[in-house]
Structure 1
């Protein structure tokens, strides 16, 4: 098996390589390639890999740009520190979506998925597996949340929620009508259960609904200032590393 690593963090790339060598001692590993330009050049020259481990945020942009220049017909395991790219990943031959920091068990699980799809890839030279993968690994997004307030349980539809946020280390939701409800889930858990097409994690504290966004302004230090139609207790700022992904999400929904 020929495995290519596309990763701009050399320490992470080395850790991944060591895990892969332990799991697949006979595999030939190439890379790491740290940029879109370097990856396109390497993949264009061949031979084609049997599997690619690909970071999403590279030194010169999002790795999804690689697919515009090179036909990658093998499975791809995406590794990233963010969870908002999952839908795009699974549309690009993604067989798994591993969040950093990953463990040996995470990589082993990804390799099992690759093995399970091996026969499928052998049957077709250029498989279109987007729908298959979405059915296998894309979880169904929640449509409502059960909440408890004033000694009563009630159901809140996701479409009614403007944003989720962390306050005093607890997660809450804010509805478009101004009602607030506490949740017993972490914001990470909430982000993983709602549609990534509808909600974006703008920073550590806020997960916002696309429908709640009023306007976006440039801010100091190349940050973005996101204004919602519902007032928030503090400014919603997106750092420069995440701003490109956010604008892409806004444009490509």
Structure 2
């Protein structure tokens, strides 16, 4: 397995290379690169590796500039000291997001994740009943397209893709649109969750069901929780407990 390391801290890059090769003796570090400019040059002139370990903030800019200039094919494991770029990372080729100072077990878990993904999607793998069910669902309608609401003696149709989030307010389910209009609907939140696309909407907790397009930032919080900021203000601070972190990040990743 050929591995490229893009990391501007030389000591960190050396440590990372040692950990990778100790976990996977078959891994070969093809190069260690410190800047966006050099990364673009290398990836343009050479065969792309099997895996890239990439820091976010490099000596001459953010690593996302590389993706703007080169079509990167292999999966990327981000290793960074910054916790506010997770959404952008998973919108690229990111399969994991490790915060510095990382430990050997973090790298080991990320490499195991890569192996599992490659094994699952290998051409030799036969379709299982669960996968066949998933493929059938992909051909089905992608959730409810609109909701009928009643406000000021009028019935109004609200398109689902204009809804930033659903939430429980005064024991009723409310809709908040991207243009900051609020409506009440009769359906319980659990029922709404089953109506809309699971790809587009995520149930953060018992009170909130949010639209992917409304997610602005995701930050690490105390006790291994995540703090979710939306483009539309919410009445309460949105937190995800550690038990749902993997599920939520997986939802962000699997677009």
In structure 2, how many angstroms separate the alpha carbons of the residues matched to 1:90 and 1:140?
A: 19
The offset of 1:45, in angstroms, is 1.3
In structure 2, how many angstroms separate the alpha carbons of the residues matched to 1:141 and 1:56?
A: 27
TM-score by length of 1: 0.52
- 1:35–1:58 Cα contact (<8 Å) kept: yes
Q: Residue in 1 aligned with 2:56?
A: 56
Mark the CA change 1:120 to 1:21 in structure 2 (over 3 Å): closer, same or farther. Answer: same
In structure 1, how many angstroms separate the alpha carbons of the residues matched to 2:76 and 2:113?
A: 11
CA deviation profile, 1:204-226 (whole Å, cap 9, x unmatched): xxxxxx859xxxxxxxxxxxxxx
Larger radius of gyration: 2
**SS of equivalent residue, structure 2 residue 113:** helix
Q: What does residue range 18-33 of structure 1 map to in structure 2 within 5 Å?
A: 18-33=18-33
- 2:74–2:93 Cα contact (<8 Å) kept: yes
Mark the CA change 1:66 to 1:11 in structure 2 (over 3 Å): closer, same or farther. Answer: same
The offset of 1:26, in angstroms, is 1.7
Q: Residue in 1 aligned with 2:94?
A: 94
CA deviation profile, 1:2-32 (whole Å, cap 9, x unmatched): 0000000001000000001101112110221
- 1:19–1:107 Cα contact (<8 Å) kept: yes
In structure 1, how many angstroms separate the alpha carbons of the residues matched to 2:108 and 2:230?
A: 28
In structure 2, how many angstroms separate the alpha carbons of the residues matched to 1:76 and 1:122?
A: 18
The offset of 1:190, in angstroms, is 7.1
Misfit runs of 4+, over 4 Å: 120-123, 139-145
Q: Residue in 1 aligned with 2:68?
A: 68
In structure 2, how many angstroms separate the alpha carbons of the residues matched to 1:10 and 1:142?
A: 42
Q: What does residue range 132-147 of structure 1 map to in structure 2 within 5 Å?
A: 141=204
In structure 1, how many angstroms separate the alpha carbons of the residues matched to 2:4 and 2:203?
A: 31
Counterpart of 2:228 (choices 179, 184, 195) is 195
Q: How many equivalent residue pairs?
A: 147
**SS of equivalent residue, structure 2 residue 16:** helix
- 1:87–1:196 Cα contact (<8 Å) kept: no
Q: Residue in 2 aligned with 1:41?
A: 41
- 2:221–2:227 Cα contact (<8 Å) kept: no
In structure 1, how many angstroms separate the alpha carbons of the residues matched to 2:203 and 2:36?
A: 31
The offset of 1:141, in angstroms, is 4.8
**SS of equivalent residue, structure 2 residue 221:** helix
Mark the CA change 1:191 to 1:104 in structure 2 (over 3 Å): closer, same or farther. Answer: closer
Q: What does residue range 118-197 of structure 1 map to in structure 2 within 5 Å?
A: 118-119=118-119, 122-123=122-123, 141=204, 188-189=221-222, 192-195=225-228
- 1:8–1:59 Cα contact (<8 Å) kept: yes
- 1:85–1:196 Cα contact (<8 Å) kept: no
The offset of 1:142, in angstroms, is 5.7
CA deviation profile, 1:94-136 (whole Å, cap 9, x unmatched): 110000000000000100111011146655xxxxxxxxxxx9x
In structure 1, how many angstroms separate the alpha carbons of the residues matched to 2:121 and 2:73?
A: 9
- 1:142–1:193 Cα contact (<8 Å) kept: no
Mark the CA change 1:55 to 1:143 in structure 2 (over 3 Å): closer, same or farther. Answer: farther
